[in-house]
Amino acid sequence: MQVLFRDGTMELPESSSWKENDGGFVTNDISDSVLSSTTFVNRISTGCTPPRKRPKRLSVNFVERDIQDSFIPFGSNESSIINVRVISLSDDNNDKIRELDCICEDTSKSYRLKLEGIWSSTPIKIGSSLRVIGAKMTEKELLLDWENGVLIVESNVLVPCTLITQGISCRRKATLSHYFKGRSSVRKEMLIGSVVHELFQAAITRSGFNVTENSLLDLWRKELHEQYAEQFFALNLSSQEIEDELCVYFKTITRWVSTYMSSPKGRNEPLQIGSKIMEVVDVEESIWNSCYGFKAKIDCTLKYELSQSKDSKHFEEKFYYFKFPVEKKNGEKKLIPIELKTGKSNPNTEHITQVMLYCLALASKQETIESGLLLYLLDETSRTVSPKTIDLKGILQMRNEIASSISDTSFDNLPEPTLNTHICKWCNQTLSCSLLQYSTSTATEIFVQDQLKHLEQSHIDYFKQFIRLILMEWKYITEKNATDKENRCRRKNSLLSVKVILDSIVQRGNRTSVTFQREEAIDEQNGLFIRGDMLLVLSKESEVIAMASVISVKENFIDVAVNGNSSSFVVGKIYLLERHEISFQHTLNLGNLVMLMNDDKQMSKIRSLIIDMRPPIFSKMKKGNISDISEIVRQLNIDQARAVVKSLMSDDYTIIEGFPGSGKTSTLAVLIRCLIHLGRTVLITSYTHSAIDNLLSKLIEYVDESKILRLGQQISINKSMRHLTLEAKLSKQSDMDRISLMQHILMETPIVACTCLGVSTNLLFSYRRFSITVVDEASLVLEPVIIPAIAASDSFVLVGDHRQLTPLVCSKQARQEGLAKSLLERLTIHHSAVITLHSQYRMNRPIAGLSSVLFYEGKLR
């Protein structure tokens, strides 16, 4: 048995057995509850942060549903699912037993819910939604303990498996990873891992693909190298260095496939569980388990044929609707999840937990919880993971801890920091964690102070203020969406009933396009679904099948794109489509604020400008430069020409305020032409794609298209500008080395255009810098959104009119407290940096005069 200590270290027993099978892979059977009540589960139950004041009794409302009426497609008449919501708390302090008073919404019948054992430490508050599964029931009581039932907190929150496994070492890290997103840093180990995953998946799925070391090398060179090229550019790795890293995996993948896969790929020898692989069902399969509140993405799902073995173990326990196999029958076909790992096979509880969740996820397809497989390709080691009830309860309680934290956008209930600063030192959430701990008395106070020593108090105050405002806006939008969704459900038009039409399923690589048909025309005008929407595809029983993006909507047809293979869709079958609300922008904003607090020279400069409000510095232009651009600026009026020259002189930033119709876009086009003429590089950005494409349409009249690169999804870019994208440029030069051409385009193109949100996520901006960033319609952009764009260059120009356009903020309180005040508006206090375009060319004299008096203090001409 493994022992997991509170600091995350693990000790293996002396009796741990290792053996080598005939295929050359070392195997270890983990079927004896590796996360037992004395290890993992005990860690969860003792490590849970209890509520600050333990209530004696909780009063809740619940909706009772028999299993036959639920979305679980199979089950037992002995069990039921009960959904409850906490409505009141009473005072009692008992760490071993918690009692909740419940009232049935339909009958008003009173119940008492008792939580004992592992469930007694579950984080519950007023308003919490709970799902009670398989409780021991009497007429007036529901009991959950070690022997009876499962409790799911915030059951509407589907927690990713990766967060649950992260929570084993630090629940705070798992929670912060959910909130703080941004441009991911590239690490060689992770990148090699992604490539190896693709190689393995191609090796086991491609029909007619003869798996050898040479064929895998050829696959890498012809297909995958280009797919991952930009990430290798970011790491400054050569092709030879990459292939040297991949060489060992070519060998191990070839050996595994030739040993275990069925003919013609391999000899089809039995896995260590004694069964043979029949077929590959799916790769990168997404399963959303709405019953237990988690979502999984399985590397490989295989179907295998059971064979009786003297070493096989039979389990006689059940896990609430999902049974463990009581008797394995020869010839019975089952699914097994495989989790691929490219590192060494060191004992790792997170890996084991991940596979156990995959086993539970696949149970919805086969009604039994089978074993899973951990495959370590680096040292050719595989392990069988066989979950038991006690393991799964502990894992789901960890899921409850994280779900409770990520469903609360106030940060009031963040898990406490770990006491092991050695773990903190290597954590990617160290800075965000330290910032949120600052000014509180914690056991890691010295560590926190060391992490924040480069920041002034004003910087930390700025961070906390914007964090509070963003969370305020996030909470408002979440609650509004919930209300809107409830209203749509009442109108019965939130779910669109559709069916897949014949010959409409087309798979290209790992992406599938599907056409659905509805009997009556889809009312796109009412905004049910539009192009670009993210949708959930559900079964008639409301089980999530996949996530999809809308490609087109026309009459009674809707085309969608889905990641994954086409096996989930059946022609003629009825599905439900529902718009999926995502919070991606909020998490990016939070991540951008952490980015601003980084300890580096560029962020120090940005903090001095936008937090400390240091006045910008301007340098003199060389006479030669003035004469070089004089012909270009000749077409501008006096104000516009001053704006261009001022921007060229700036070491920090310039503000160009342009009244309506004053030629802001034309001025920007001339400025960019001047910058290119002087040999500088430019990042063009804005909040909207339309603003970027409008500016580019003026530029391409004077600038060669080879000097412009447009980043973004094809669907969002104006058709007239799509020839400027990387894909279009590569397709024109098929006779050249595409990798070298790609690197040249990304690194050498002097003008790059991308939305502010795109700059926050696109990898290019992690390894390339620009001379200047030009932000059009800057008054529309929330301040946290603009941070990555202005940090990507030596200076920046903000263009807009804060009297006409301001950032869209839904929360009235957040608007009043300053979230709707753009960076452009704040920086106008430095008059030396501001150039105003007074003359307008759009309105007639009477209208312009009225606008000038009402909004522009009589300055508009």
* DSSP state string for 484-520: HHHHHHHHT-SSEEEEEPTT--EEETTEEEEEEE-SS
Contact 393, 41 (CB under 8 A): yes
Look at residue 583 and tell me whether its pLDDT is greater than 70: yes
H/E stretch holding 534 reads strand 534-538
Q: Which position has the higher pLDDT, 740 or 840? A: 740
Q: Which residues pair with 538 in a beta bridge?
A: 544, 576
- What was the pLDDT predicted at 569? 80
- Domain ranges for the chain, please list them: 52-155, 503-581, 622-854
Alpha-carbon distance of 152 to 462, in angstroms, equals 37
Alpha-carbon distance of 147 to 150, in angstroms, equals 9
- What was the pLDDT predicted at 490? 43
Phi-psi region of 321 (alpha: psi -120 to 50; beta: other; left: phi over 0): left
Peptide linkage before 123 cis (omega within 30 of 0): no
Q: How does pLDDT run across 63-115, given as a tens digit for each residue?
A: 333 322 222 323 333 347 788 777 777 656 566 788 888 776 556 667 788 88
Nearest C-alpha neighbor of 186 from the set 786, 770, 767:
767
Structure tokens at 136: 């021991």
pTM: predicted TM-score of the whole model, two decimal places: 0.83
SS (HEC) of 684-741: EEECCHHHHHHHHHHHCCCCCHHHEEECCCHHHCCHHHHHHEHHHHHHCCCCCCHHHH
Do 503-581 and 622-854 share a fold?
A: no
Phi-psi region of 338 (alpha: psi -120 to 50; beta: other; left: phi over 0): beta
112-121, 232-241, 311-320, 739-748: least confidently modelled range: 311-320
824-847 average pLDDT score = 80
Look at residue 7 and tell me whether its pLDDT is greater than 50: no
Alpha-carbon distance of 334 to 388, in angstroms, equals 18
Q: How does pLDDT run across 631-662, given as a tens digit for each residue?
A: 899 989 999 999 999 999 999 999 999 877 78
What amino acid occupies position 822?
Answer: S
834 — pLDDT class (breaks 50, 70, 90): very high
Structure tokens at 205: 């799925």
What are the Cα distances from residue 756, in Å, to 69, 690, 774?
47, 13, 11
- What was the pLDDT predicted at 151? 92
H/E stretch holding 141 reads strand 141-144
* Start-to-end C-alpha separation, the chain: 82
Nearest C-alpha neighbor of 616 from the set 646, 659, 638:
646
**Which 8-state DSSP code applies to residue 407?**
T
Phi and psi at 826, nearest 5°, equal: -65, -40
The structure tokens 């799911």 sit at 152
308 — pLDDT class (breaks 50, 70, 90): low
Structure tokens at 758: 């795109």
Nearest C-alpha neighbor of 36 from the set 10, 56, 60, 7:
10
Radius of gyration of the chain (CA): 30
- What was the pLDDT predicted at 695? 96
Greatest CA span in the chain, whole angstroms?
A: 95
The structure tokens 């869209």 sit at 808
- What was the pLDDT predicted at 484? 61
Q: Which position has the higher pLDDT, 167 or 57? A: 167
Q: Which position has the higher pLDDT, 377 or 583? A: 377
462 — pLDDT class (breaks 50, 70, 90): very high
Tell me the pLDDT of the chain averaged across its residues: 81
Contact 793, 697 (CB under 8 A): no
Task: Tell me the CB-side half-sphere exposure of residue 73, using CA atoms within 13 A.
Answer: 13
What amino acid occupies position 311?
Answer: D
The sign of the CA dihedral 295, 296, 302, 307 is: negative
| Exposed/middle/buried for residue 619 (C-beta within 10 Å: 0-12, 13-18, 19+) | exposed
Alpha-carbon distance of 655 to 664, in angstroms, equals 11
Alpha-carbon distance of 813 to 690, in angstroms, equals 30
Look at residue 857 and tell me whether its pLDDT is greater than 80: no
Q: How does pLDDT run across 23-69, given as a tens digit for each residue?
A: 345 555 544 434 443 444 444 444 443 333 433 333 333 333 332 22
What fold characterizes domain 622-854? Rossmann fold (3.40.50)
Alpha-carbon distance of 276 to 334, in angstroms, equals 11
Structure tokens at 854: 């009402």
Most confidently modeled range among 5-14, 228-237, 514-523? 228-237
Exposure string for 14-47, b = 16+ CB within 10 A, e = fewer: eeeeeeeeebebbbbbbbebbbbbebbbbbbbeb
Alpha-carbon distance of 568 to 543, in angstroms, equals 12
3-32 average pLDDT score = 39
- What was the pLDDT predicted at 843? 55
609 — pLDDT class (breaks 50, 70, 90): very high
H/E stretch holding 560 reads strand 557-563
Structure tokens at 591: 């991540």
- What was the pLDDT predicted at 584? 83
Contact 364, 320 (CB under 8 A): no
685 — pLDDT class (breaks 50, 70, 90): very high
533 — pLDDT class (breaks 50, 70, 90): confident
Structure tokens at 815: 């608007």
The structure tokens 């339909």 sit at 106
CB within 8 A of 14, min separation 6: which ones? none
H/E stretch holding 456 reads none
Alpha-carbon distance of 60 to 110, in angstroms, equals 10
Q: Which position has the higher pLDDT, 554 or 789? A: 789
Alpha-carbon distance of 533 to 531, in angstroms, equals 6
Relative to beta strand 10-11, strand 3-4 is antiparallel
Q: How does pLDDT run across 718-760, given as a tens digit for each residue?
A: 999 999 999 999 988 766 688 999 999 999 999 999 999 999 9
Look at residue 589 and tell me whether its pLDDT is greater than 90: yes
For the chain, the helix, strand and coil percentages under 3-state DSSP, each to the nearest 5: 40, 25, 35
Look at residue 243 and tell me whether its pLDDT is greater than 70: yes
Nearest C-alpha neighbor of 83 from the set 136, 140, 117, 128:
128
C-alpha angle 409-412-418 in degrees, rounded to nearest 5: 110
- What was the pLDDT predicted at 78? 37
Relative to beta strand 534-538, strand 574-579 is antiparallel
Q: Which residues pair with 384 in a beta bridge?
A: 29, 373
H/E stretch holding 138 reads none
Phi-psi region of 187 (alpha: psi -120 to 50; beta: other; left: phi over 0): beta
H/E stretch holding 164 reads helix 161-169
Alpha-carbon distance of 702 to 673, in angstroms, equals 8
SS (HEC) of 283-332: EEEEEEECCCCEEEEEEEEEEEECCCCCCCCCCCCEECCEECCCCCCCCC
The structure tokens 């290209």 sit at 508
Contact 645, 625 (CB under 8 A): no
The architecture CATH gives domain 503-581: Beta Barrel (2.40)
521-529 average pLDDT score = 56
- What was the pLDDT predicted at 542? 67
Nearest C-alpha neighbor of 848 from the set 662, 668, 635, 664:
662
Look at residue 147 and tell me whether its pLDDT is greater than 80: yes
142 — pLDDT class (breaks 50, 70, 90): confident
- What was the pLDDT predicted at 211? 94
Torsion of CA 529, 532, 536, 538, to 10 degrees: 60
Most confidently modeled range among 98-102, 332-336, 377-381? 377-381
User: What 3-state DSSP class applies to 115?
Assistant: strand
What amino acid occupies position 364?
Answer: S
579 — pLDDT class (breaks 50, 70, 90): confident
- What was the pLDDT predicted at 738? 87
User: What 3-state DSSP class applies to 389?
Assistant: helix
